[in-house]
Amino acid sequence: MLGWLADYPDPHDFAYAFYHSRGHFAGRQGYNSSVMDALIDLGIRQSNSSERRATYELVQQLVIEDCPSATLATTIGRHFEQTWVCGWYYNPVYPGVYAANLWKWYYTPHAQLETVTNVTANLLPYDVNYDGKTNMFDVGAAATSFGAIYGPPASSRWFYRCDFNNDRKIDMKDVSGVAKNFGKIGALWTPP
């Protein structure tokens, strides 16, 4: 079982390795196509991004038509972390633990903070976009995120500023909190 990890984030890295006659895997697959070689050589020389895209789309189409190999088995990897680790995602260009984008975070929604974290963050606790008023933008953000959970894995709709009660899910408690404060302006709002 063998695979390829990206040396650099460009389609040429994979196209050359798998499908060019001088690539790492093409010989092992018994694949040799002069048309494919010409397309891959053209793709790396092009500087116009739309032309390169069109060339590599032709490479992909030729791969589908020629079918030089078929995946019979694939390995499964696992990743474990504490629930407070944020920022991890699988990155095929850097498939290890790249710690620069990781951080620890027990977040507290701005609605529960006693100190100012943003110029207008605590003027109005249900002001999702910090514009100083609770309006349809805030209602829309909470409604769009409705049903999202922090994870793991985090929902694609997860938006931490809509989780007002800090229960790591955006539910009716959060949406109704925005609705109850609809129309309030930060300068007029006073904490309970």
Domain ranges of the chain: 11-66, 107-192
Mean confidence (pLDDT) of the chain: 79
Sequence-ordered alpha helix ranges (H) in the chain? 11-19, 26-29, 34-45, 49-66, 136-145, 172-180
- What per-residue confidence (pLDDT) applies to 95? 65
- What per-residue confidence (pLDDT) applies to 104? 58
Helix (H, G, I), strand (E, B) or coil at 108: coil
* pLDDT band for position 120 (cuts 50, 70, 90): very low
Separation CA 106–CA 158 (nearest Å): 15
- What per-residue confidence (pLDDT) applies to 47? 94
Which of 6-10, 17-21, 80-84 ranks highest by mean pLDDT? 17-21
* pLDDT, mean of residues 65-75: 82
Dump the DSSP string for 150-189. Answer: --SSPPTT--GGG-TT-SSB--HHHHHHHHHTTT-BGGG-
| Token pair in block for residue 58 | 């032709």
* pLDDT, mean of residues 58-81: 84
Q: Determine if the pTM surpasses 0.85.
A: no
* pLDDT band for position 183 (cuts 50, 70, 90): confident
Overall fold of domain 107-192: Type 1 dockerin domain (1.10.1330)
- What per-residue confidence (pLDDT) applies to 19? 95
Q: Which residue has the higher pLDDT, 127 or 13?
A: 13
The answer to whether residue 30 scores a pLDDT higher than 80 is yes
